[in-house]
Chains A and B, each alone.
Chain A
Amino acid sequence: MESTAQTESAAFKEKVRRTVYLDNLSPHVTESVLKTALNQFGTVKSVEFIPNYTESKNIPLCALVEMEHVKQAKAVIAALGEFPFMMSGMPRPVRARPAEVEMFDDRPKPDRIIRCCWLNPNDPAFEVAQKLKQMVRQHAAEASFVLKNQLEEEEKLAKQQRDSLKANYKKYELIDGIIGDGTAQRLVRRYGMKVLDN
């Protein structure tokens, strides 16, 4: 009984080591996209998307990708850390880091029994609990504030990128307009000049 639990936990630990945590994924990324993308560094064994409960908004998804060997997982992390790696045309690079045990839903839970009870306000532990509660709330508030700010920032960044893309694309269209309809070429001929247009 115990040995199976042990092997299980050992196997799980091994799995964790083989696994890469990816975030900043584009919503367009599907399992097969992920698989193919990482298959160039090794063999992907499984892909598990981590559902995002914290926000209803379209926060980039995260996923756990299990590779065949630890070495490959390391290679993935190294490669993605070294070069901006884009998936599905998303112009923001995907991030990768080693997975941690806590990221797994199906991790073997320790045999800890959690008991709940009411505390008397006079109990010295009451104050501690109170403080902890407060602290948790505060953290939540802070986290959401930070998250909000980050999101705003990202949106701004996205907008800025979009704008600059649009602007550049507009330039391209403008130029393409006159080159495409032959105006520019006619003028080139009129001027008797040579233009390198491939």
Chain B
Amino acid sequence: MASSDDEVEFGPTSVSNYYFEDEMDQPVSFSVLPIQWSENESPIGDKRRVSLRGAADKGLQTIHKDVTAWKFDLNNAIPEISVLSKEKIWIKLLKPRKSFEETIRTILITVHCLSYGKRNPEASGKSFWDHLSRTFSLYEVRPSQNDLLDHMDLISEALKRDDSLAKSKFLVTFLEEKPRKKKISDQDIQTTTTSAFIVDDTEDVMDDVANEDESDKDDLFDSACAFCDNGGELLCCEGRCLRSFHPIAEDADNSCETLHLTREEVDAIHNYLCKNCEYKQHQCYACGKLGSSDKDKGAEVFSCASATCGHFYHPLCISKLLFWDDEAAAENLQKSIVQGGSFTCPLHKCYVCKGGENMMDSELQFALCRRCPKAYHRKCLPRKIAFEGEEEKGLITRAWEGLLPNKRILIYCLKHEIIDELGTPSRDHIKFPRTEEEKTVVEGSKKKQKLELPSCKEKVGSMKSNPTSKDSFQGKSAVKTLPRFSAMKHGEIMKKSGKLSAVSDSSSKVKTADASKSSLKKNMKSVPVGVDRSSKLVANKTSLGERLFAYVKETEHIKLGKRDTPDSELTKTVTVTAASKKLSTELPSLDADSERRLLALMEDAASSITLEDVKKKHRMPSTHAHSLKTYVDRTIKLGRVEGSVEAVQTAIRKLEEENSSIEDAKAVCQPEVLDQIFKWKNKLRVYLSPFLYGMRYTSFGRHFTKVDKLQDIVDRLHWYVQDGDMIVDFCCGANDFSCLMKKKLEATGKKCFYKNYDIMPAKNDFNFEKRDWLTVRPGELAPGSQLIMGLNPPFGVKAALADLFINKALEFNPKLLILIVPPETERLDIKKPPYDLVWEEEQFLSGKSFYLPGSVDENDKQMDQWNLVSPPLSLWSRHDWTAKHKAIAEKNGHINREHEGSNLEKNSNETRIIDQHMEDDSGQYGDTSMLTDLPLQINEAEKLRHIATKGHKESSPVSDSDKQNTNDYRKNQSSKDTRKREHHNKNRGSEMSRKSAVDEQSGGRRTGMEISSGTPHHSPTNVISGRSSAEGHPSKSIEMPSMSHFEPSTSRSHMQSGTACGEIQSSIRGETGLVSGISSKSPADEQSGGRHPGREIQFGNPHRRSPANVIDSRSSAEVRPSRSIEMPSVVDNGRQHFEPSMSGSHRSAYGGTQASFSDDMELRLSMNNSDSYSAFRYNGGVNVGEQFTARGRDNGDSLGYRPYISDIERESDVRSQFGYYGQEPAGSDPIFGQLGSLPSTNYGHIGSATAAPYRMNTSVMQRYAPQLHDLNPPMTHRFEPPPPMGGTNDLYDARAPPIPGYQADPFANTPGPHYPYPPPGSSGWLDD
């Protein structure tokens, strides 16, 4: 027992590596114990059996004791916590066991918080959290209010008992604000509430989507500090040196020199350019001397060609290094380098075996010396260069893995002596071109105390880390010295680079930063208080009137403060204003004092709003969660891009001109770099899309489905709806769908429920709930068997958002899902449980099926929108409902089948009439586009071209085997034509007249053209058509008009292209091109020629297929509005479903597309788009692009014909064509008859659903598609998008001269149309 007595009396008074256990041996926080506030009080709280385990006596003794109470002592700088053992001995707790930290995290933070509050009663919330996160820097999650919330009682009790604590403003307000804070912080943590959790989840997903390749990307470039060769939070230079630095002195351990910046400065820096890159003075990596690298002013040092290298060399130095044994070669190289020749430095060849690097083979990975240009293969690494952990062999560690990218090894070769304290060679290897001023700054800052701050960004494995133990007093003094430095540094930076951020960084708010102001600002907290007190004194002495006066002023000032800084903390502003006002009462004008005061005021207001607060307030909906900004800014550095681009160029030159080996090329440009470039481009494109695609991005970048399209969908969908179903539109936009649906269903006697969600308020609030769809929970909606949900979700990059929305929808097990989602969306038949496809219409929504709400074009009309690849409309059924739905689909002809519809003609008749009607009624979009078009006509030259083109159009209806039908049909057709023609003429009066004038000019030539081109063109057609009719496929097709457009081309290149143009009809086209080339003389032709090589378009449409007819009949009865007018997509639909109501000519254009576009044309298009394009970019560009992208049908037209008409809606197009034909004496019928059948071939195939031609179609279209984009970007600058950032649009001007191939951005359109919500990029901008 004696021994145990000993233990009691002399037992340990402190314990480390400790943890607590309860009866169940579960770890438990000591805070469950009763707390003893003071010695003469007994512990308060429930008694629980808790035992303490740990090590005492410097680990020599293990402890296992039952404890009964705990207490804390705040009198020291570091709070002490002790527990009372059963033996009534207080045991001080030192360091907890690592695994136990999480358990006592909250109580530790709370106690530290109290301690800090006791010592710093004036401290603001920010400094509290700064302090705490410094103290608990090792915790993965930063301390937050959440940690305190568990111990509110403790805090309030402590405040009651300790007067000095009660003075802590932060703690007091914290207690008062408790309820609100609690909510916020819950959300912050994003674990407590379900909705937050979901959002969190979403963000992760988004991150995954956007960052999928980010993990490997950073790896390409150096990510170790250039000073100390260690990882951590680094600032990457934007320039060619490709280096990174530890920016913040306090952050760096191991006595890294660092850039001596403050946190604020770093936050403010957007693009850091190191001094070397800024002054273009780089060190030679061989000799270490600085030299100019400015190629414009006679460079002394030149950079290595390798994309990821970033080292510079004197020509002499590098020549000697590379050809140390061959003087002549060295001299040659030296000369060539001076003349701009490229070289790769010795770092890209093994010093021993001279072999190249191969990242995939661990033996062939490189070890690079960080001090001189020397590299080894892993296998060739000298033994004396030892890895960490091999010290026992008496070797100094010289090699580290995991610090350099590409699995490279960081070494210091044997030339460099390792300094023990540093673990590296001496660190004088970096020379910046320095100015006097900087030197003082640097020296001064060297004296600063070093604080350790947690490094949170760009974590890189840091192996040599040697955390400085932190002392809070040190911290304080360092803080005091900081403002000076920051002020100086600040001014300097502003002068030189002007890159300070004014938004979030408080210190940058002061424009004319001198030391005193800066420090004033830093000490804001105390200054206002001081002033406040003095003003009170003054106020007490003055008369009542005086005070009233002051009061008036005060209120005035409050207003002022409010106006300037709407979100400022009102109370604070008031005090400060009142106080300072008092002091300056008698000032007639603004002196320095009041200026400073105002500045301080602004400063204070500004600092009360942090970017984080704003972000918190603007919680992004799931669709906006991700921003590319950080990625673009932090990773895609200009220097890296330049280097990579040059490397690619060098590599290809080496390969193609110098016949170097692939390995040499790879030394210059690793395949990974190349890969990276493509990824970068995609990122940048998304990021910059608001600027690349300009005006489209008014408002929130949503896109809505047009009402007429919705009506079509409703007409289809309503068959599947049963009485009592609930229809959910999860992204309802303008909320038209539900309204239409309701109308329709009520008309058919079904009563249903509706739910509509969107994150923006909808114009029509019918059953609308403003809510993020992803936060809707199961149970809030009707049971799945009554649920019909879907429609047009935001797509997101690679349909990521669409997937999210659908997955969410699937949680409700709806019986039906109707979706407008991009093709790349994950199909529902591979989900779990899988859904069955009832039908899918790929072209239903092609063309201008969408519009951009809130955005107007230059004519103040609602902007239409299109998709490059139109999103299919699809209907998915839950498995147990599939049979039923399929039956409905079958019954209503929604599934494509061959039908022999005898009543075809009748139906189409009806349809047409209705269409006509609709045209008038629903003219909204038509009109819009018409108006849009007007500006088109402005450009004379362009019109000339158009007209010339127009001249070469022919069309012919196709007759197929079913002659009777054809005849009937044609009758219908012609009557309709007439109507349309009239209509058209009315609309386009002005254009027509102008056209005719031009016609006169160019008429002669045109006629000739027609003749010459027509003949060869027709004959093959006929042959084909013969075949097709023999096959009998198009039996039901009534009309197959085809058109051909010939465009004269003047330049030789055009002729060439004309020749090469068609795959199928190349010979014909060649002729055409030739003919036109010779005959054309007019300027108009010259212009147009470049772009429009001779081309033919043929089409035939078997669209009058029976299923279509069936539908048609139905639809006509139902009044199906505008489908026929818009004629969107029918052609592609051909595969599954033809729509009868389309007029043949539209279709026909489509056929032409497939046949006529070839690569050559693409090429030419992209290269020639200078004058002629710019002429109509303004108005036509959009539409041209759109037509191509979206609608096969229009392709034919658009090239030849569209441009002038370009903006006229599809139907007007049609009309115009008819009008044109009508005018032509040669007229429709004869030629129609002739040509008609060619298309039928194509369509015959299509109809039979083998879709061979169709596929061809697609591919051609796809090939073609990229070029459409060539048209689009120019549009951007023609639009003169408002100067993006409140100023010049020189940016756009830069694009004006078309660089060949410049516009080749294949999916230029994609970001726009594809993402209904702003693509990540745009939110990135918002973040600015």
- Interface residues of A, Cβ cutoff 8 Å to B: 26-28, 30, 32-33, 36-43, 71, 75-76, 78-79, 82-93, 131, 134-135, 137-139, 141-143, 145-146, 149-150, 152-154, 156-184, 186-188, 190-191, 193, 195-198
Contact A41 B760 (CB under 8 A): yes
Q: How far is it, in angstroms, between the C-alpha of A78 and the C-alpha of B761 when the chains are bound?
A: 9
Nearest-Cβ distance from residue B550 to partner chain A, whole angstroms:
11
**Residue-wise interface mask of B (639-655) relative to A, using a CB-CB cutoff of 8 A (1 in contact, 0 not):** 00110010011011001
Contact A187 B655 (CB under 8 A): yes
Contact A187 B860 (CB under 8 A): no
Task: Scan residues 64-96 of chain B and give those whose CB is less than 8 A from a CB of chain A.
Answer: none
Instruction: Report if B763 contacts A (CB, 8 A).
Output: yes
Contact B674 A191 (CB under 8 A): yes
Q: How far is it, in angstroms, between the C-alpha of A139 and the C-alpha of B590 when the chains are bound?
A: 10
**Given A149-B599, A161-B1328, A184-B648; A168-B687 close (CB under 8 Å):** yes
Contact of A88 among B556, B598, B665, B1282 (CB under 8 A): B1282
User: Which residues from B are CB-within-8-Å of A150?
Assistant: 564, 602
Residue of A nearest to B685 (CB): A172
Contact A38 B854 (CB under 8 A): yes
A to B CB contacts below 8 Å, 15 in the list: A28-B1282, A40-B854, A90-B1282, A91-B1326, A135-B553, A138-B584, A138-B589, A142-B590, A149-B511, A159-B498, A163-B498, A171-B641, A180-B1302, A187-B655, A195-B678
Instruction: Report if B503 contacts A (CB, 8 A).
Output: yes
**Residue-wise interface mask of B (544-565) relative to A, using a CB-CB cutoff of 8 A (1 in contact, 0 not):** 0000010011001000100010
Contact A160 B499 (CB under 8 A): yes
Residue of A nearest to B680 (CB): A175
Q: How far is it, in angstroms, between the C-alpha of A171 and the C-alpha of B556 when the chains are bound?
A: 50
Contact of A82 among B618, B688, B1305 (CB under 8 A): B618
Contact A36 B855 (CB under 8 A): yes
Contact of B699 among A87, A167, A182, A197 (CB under 8 A): A87
User: Which residues from A are CB-within-8-Å of B602?
Assistant: 146, 149-150
Instruction: Report if B625 contacts A (CB, 8 A).
Output: no
**Residue-wise interface mask of B (676-708) relative to A, using a CB-CB cutoff of 8 A (1 in contact, 0 not):** 011111101101101110110111100000000
Nearest-Cβ distance from residue A187 to partner chain B, whole angstroms:
5
Instruction: Report if B44 contacts A (CB, 8 A).
Output: no
Contact of B502 among A32, A157, A173 (CB under 8 A): A157
Contact of B1291 among A26, A41, A169, A176 (CB under 8 A): A169
Contact B618 A175 (CB under 8 A): no
Instruction: Report if B595 contacts A (CB, 8 A).
Output: yes
Contact A162 B502 (CB under 8 A): no
Contact of B691 among A160, A169, A186 (CB under 8 A): A169
Instruction: Report if B1304 contacts A (CB, 8 A).
Output: yes
Q: How far is it, in angstroms, between the C-alpha of A163 and the C-alpha of B498 when the chains are bound?
A: 10
Contact B498 A37 (CB under 8 A): no
User: Which residues from A are CB-within-8-Å of B726?
Assistant: none
Instruction: Report if B394 contacts A (CB, 8 A).
Output: no
Instruction: Report if B1284 contacts A (CB, 8 A).
Output: yes
16 additional contacts (CB under 8 A) given A40-B854, A156-B502, A160-B502:
A28-B1282, A71-B765, A84-B618, A89-B1281, A134-B588, A138-B589, A141-B589, A161-B1328, A164-B271, A164-B1328, A168-B684, A177-B1299, A180-B1303, A180-B1304, A193-B671, A197-B682
Contact A172 B502 (CB under 8 A): no
Instruction: Report if B749 contacts A (CB, 8 A).
Output: no
Top 8 A-B pairs ranked by shortest CB distance? Answer: A32-B860, A75-B761, A162-B1285, A180-B1301, A28-B1282, A40-B853, A158-B1286, A84-B1326
Nearest-Cβ distance from residue A179 to partner chain B, whole angstroms:
6
Contact A36 B1282 (CB under 8 A): no
Instruction: Report if B1245 contacts A (CB, 8 A).
Output: no
How many residue pairs bridge A and B at CB < 8 Å?
A: 265
Contact B698 A40 (CB under 8 A): no
User: Which residues from A are CB-within-8-Å of B632?
Assistant: 168
Task: Scan residues 1273-1328 of chain B and give those whose CB is less than 8 A from a CB of chain A.
Answer: 1281-1282, 1284-1288, 1291, 1294, 1299-1307, 1310, 1325-1326, 1328
User: Which residues from A are CB-within-8-Å of B599?
Assistant: 149
Contact B1282 A183 (CB under 8 A): no
User: Which residues from A are CB-within-8-Å of B1287?
Assistant: 158-159, 162
Contact of A186 among B502, B595, B652, B1310 (CB under 8 A): B652
Contact of A142 among B560, B692, B1326 (CB under 8 A): B560
Contact A164 B1310 (CB under 8 A): no
Contact A91 B498 (CB under 8 A): no
Contact A33 B589 (CB under 8 A): no
Residue of A nearest to B1300 (CB): A181
Q: How far is it, in angstroms, between the C-alpha of A4 and the C-alpha of B727 when the chains are bound?
A: 48
Contact A141 B681 (CB under 8 A): no
**Given A174-B645, A175-B677; A160-B560 close (CB under 8 Å):** no
Instruction: Report if B662 contacts A (CB, 8 A).
Output: yes
Residue of B nearest to A27 (CB): B1282
**Given A178-B677, A180-B1302; A198-B697 close (CB under 8 Å):** no
Residue of A nearest to B584 (CB): A138
Instruction: Report if B501 contacts A (CB, 8 A).
Output: yes
User: Which residues from B are CB-within-8-Å of A91?
Assistant: 690, 1284-1285, 1325-1326, 1328
Contact B498 A156 (CB under 8 A): yes
Task: Scan residues 932-968 of chain B and give those whose CB is less than 8 A from a CB of chain A.
Answer: none
Contact B500 A160 (CB under 8 A): yes
User: Which residues from A are CB-within-8-Å of B499?
Assistant: 160, 163
Contact of A152 among B503, B511, B598, B1300 (CB under 8 A): B511
Instruction: Report if B922 contacts A (CB, 8 A).
Output: no
User: Which residues from B are CB-within-8-Å of A27?
Assistant: 1282
User: Which residues from B are CB-within-8-Å of A168?
Assistant: 632, 636, 684, 687-688
Contact B1291 A165 (CB under 8 A): yes
Contact A178 B648 (CB under 8 A): yes
Instruction: Report if B5 contacts A (CB, 8 A).
Output: no
Instruction: Report if B1054 contacts A (CB, 8 A).
Output: no
**Given A84-B618, A162-B1287, A182-B1301; A138-B1294 close (CB under 8 Å):** no
User: Which residues from B are CB-within-8-Å of A131?
Assistant: 549
Nearest-Cβ distance from residue A54 to partner chain B, whole angstroms:
12
User: Which residues from A are CB-within-8-Å of B685?
Assistant: 172
Residue of A nearest to B641 (CB): A171
Instruction: Report if B348 contacts A (CB, 8 A).
Output: no
User: Which residues from A are CB-within-8-Å of B655?
Assistant: 187, 190
Nearest-Cβ distance from residue A27 to partner chain B, whole angstroms:
8
**Given A39-B854, A191-B666; A180-B1305 close (CB under 8 Å):** yes
Contact A178 B649 (CB under 8 A): yes
**Given A32-B860, A84-B1326, A183-B648; A193-B675 close (CB under 8 Å):** yes
User: Which residues from B are CB-within-8-Å of A145?
Assistant: 590, 595, 598
Contact of A197 among B238, B652, B678 (CB under 8 A): B678
Q: How far is it, in angstroms, between the C-alpha of A181 and the C-alpha of B652 when the chains are bound?
A: 12
Instruction: Report if B270 contacts A (CB, 8 A).
Output: yes
Q: How far is it, in angstroms, between the C-alpha of A175 and the C-alpha of B1281 when the chains are bound?
A: 23
Q: How far is it, in angstroms, between the C-alpha of A150 and the C-alpha of B665 when the chains are bound?
A: 53
Instruction: Report if B638 contacts A (CB, 8 A).
Output: yes
Task: Scan residues 803-838 of chain B and give those whose CB is less than 8 A from a CB of chain A.
Answer: none
Contact A88 B1306 (CB under 8 A): no
Q: How far is it, in angstroms, between the C-alpha of A172 and the C-alpha of B1294 when the chains are bound?
A: 12
Instruction: Report if B328 contacts A (CB, 8 A).
Output: no
Contact B700 A85 (CB under 8 A): yes
- For B665, B682, B699, the residue with the greatest tally of chain A CB atoms inside 10 Å of its CB is B699
Contact A87 B698 (CB under 8 A): yes
Contact B1282 A26 (CB under 8 A): yes
User: Which residues from A are CB-within-8-Å of B498?
Assistant: 156, 159-160, 163
**Given A32-B860, A40-B853, A156-B502; A85-B699 close (CB under 8 Å):** yes
Instruction: Report if B455 contacts A (CB, 8 A).
Output: no
Q: How far is it, in angstroms, between the C-alpha of A90 and the C-alpha of B690 when the chains are bound?
A: 10
Q: How far is it, in angstroms, between the C-alpha of A196 and the C-alpha of B560 when the chains are bound?
A: 56
Residue of B nearest to A179 (CB): B681
Contact B734 A167 (CB under 8 A): no
Q: How far is it, in angstroms, between the C-alpha of A51 and the C-alpha of B193 when the chains are bound?
A: 47
Q: How far is it, in angstroms, between the C-alpha of A42 and the C-alpha of B761 when the chains are bound?
A: 9
Q: How far is it, in angstroms, between the C-alpha of A28 and the C-alpha of B651 when the chains are bound?
A: 46
